[in-house]
Amino acid sequence: MLTSKLEVLVDFGPKVDTETLNKTLSELKAQEGIKEAVYKDGAILVETCLPSSQVLELVTSKSGKRAVLQGFGETQSAVAMISSQSCCKSQVMGVIRFQQTPEGPLVADGSIDGLTAGSHGVHVHDTGDLSQGCKSIGDHYNPCGAPHGGPSDPKGSRHAGDLGNIVADENGRATFRIVDNVLKVWDIIGRSVAVTEGRDDLGRGYSPTSKIDGDSGTPVACGIIARSAGIFQNPKRICACDGVVVWDEKDRPLAGKGRRVEDKPKRCCQQEHTEHVKPCCRV
Ligand SMILES: [Zn+2]
């Protein structure tokens, strides 16, 4: 199995409870899809072929503690925060992580919420231009001038950006781990990734758009692909100058209303008077 290494930060507090830690590690190792689980430098390192969101749920349930993904992949990694931008009626949000495995294939790991139940196409697009939301990200990334296809098609018979379909459950959540033999992380940083409203027919349909976009409809959410930290490359514990620490961050939206809790003293403003509020604390 092609595994990925995930660095999972667990909220053990100031002192690690060894008994809980050892129990968590042995239970994780007994789990199908998990090859190894060790504690290293304050985090649990999991080698797995499961989607990262499933690993986080497992760590949380086995340890009884909060857990966040701190690093993903040993070599080059990238991440895209996916949202419906301003163009769409529905509120779709999620994250897709890309990892270049030492073995060669790329792993696209993600979870996306707010989708309609069923299949949705996922594609890397040519540009990272979000000036008009998902409308300005260009066509599917296609350096070889190939027709639209599916992820199992060879390099010359598909767009490089064709990652096939993800499936959302009845709650609108899609959790996935796609292994792809064509795309490389270094080719897609700065481009964007989008999820479409409908199913991608992988270029095998009869509709005129089948060979263009798999008749999958318009993107309902998209985001720019940016370089990200691999395992043990991210020493950060505080997420931004708004003073939100990783444990607060876990339950907050990425931006906007709800990012900061206004009825509590702000961490970075605690010793400040309101007239001298630091710029980062302004609402
Ligand atoms: Zn395509």
Give residue 83 CA to ligand 1 midpoint distance, Å: 20
Helix or strand or coil: residue 275?
helix
Cβ contacts of 266 within 8 Å, gap of 6 or more:
242, 243, 260, 281
Give residue 231 CA to ligand 1 midpoint distance, Å: 31
- Interatomic CA distance for residues 18 and 21, integer angstroms: 5
> Residue ranges of the chain with pLDDT lower than 70?
86-90, 234-283
E strands, the chain, in order: 4-10, 34-40, 43-48, 67-72, 77-83, 93-100, 106-113, 118-125, 131-134, 162-168, 174-180, 192-196, 219-228
- Interatomic CA distance for residues 49 and 20, integer angstroms: 24
Give residue 147 CA to ligand 1 midpoint distance, Å: 7
- Interatomic CA distance for residues 125 and 76, integer angstroms: 20
Give residue 123 CA to ligand 1 midpoint distance, Å: 7
Give residue 182 CA to ligand 1 midpoint distance, Å: 13
Phi, psi (rounded to 5 degrees) for 225: -90, 120
Give residue 179 CA to ligand 1 midpoint distance, Å: 17
Give residue 72 CA to ligand 1 midpoint distance, Å: 26
- Angstrom CA distances, 72 to 76, 93, 98, stand at 9, 20, 8
Helix or strand or coil: residue 140?
strand
Q: How confident is the model over 231-280, as pLDDT tens digits?
A: 777 665 554 445 556 666 666 655 555 655 444 444 433 333 333 333 33
Give residue 183 CA to ligand 1 midpoint distance, Å: 13
Give residue 138 CA to ligand 1 midpoint distance, Å: 11
Q: Residue 137 — left, alpha, or beta (φ > 0 → left; ψ -120 to 50 → alpha)? A: alpha
Give residue 52 CA to ligand 1 midpoint distance, Å: 26
Give residue 212 CA to ligand 1 midpoint distance, Å: 6
- Interatomic CA distance for residues 155 and 240, integer angstroms: 40
Are 125 and 135 spatial neighbours (Cβ–Cβ below 8 Å)?
A: no
Q: Residue 173 — left, alpha, or beta (φ > 0 → left; ψ -120 to 50 → alpha)? A: beta
Domains and CATH numbers, the chain: 4-72 (3.30.70.100), 77-228 (2.60.40.200), 246-281 (no CATH)
pTM of the model: 0.81
Q: How confident is the model over 126-145, as pLDDT tens digits?
A: 999 999 999 999 999 999 99
Cα atoms in the Cβ-side hemisphere of radius 13 Å centred on 116 = 11
Structure tokens at 271: 């010793």
- Interatomic CA distance for residues 268 and 130, integer angstroms: 32
pLDDT in the model for residue 279? 37
Give residue 49 CA to ligand 1 midpoint distance, Å: 26
Give the CA-trace dihedral at 238, 256, 57, 163, to 10 degrees.
-110
pLDDT in the model for residue 249? 63
Give residue 215 CA to ligand 1 midpoint distance, Å: 10
Give residue 86 CA to ligand 1 midpoint distance, Å: 24
Are 259 and 242 spatial neighbours (Cβ–Cβ below 8 Å)?
A: yes
Give residue 227 CA to ligand 1 midpoint distance, Å: 23
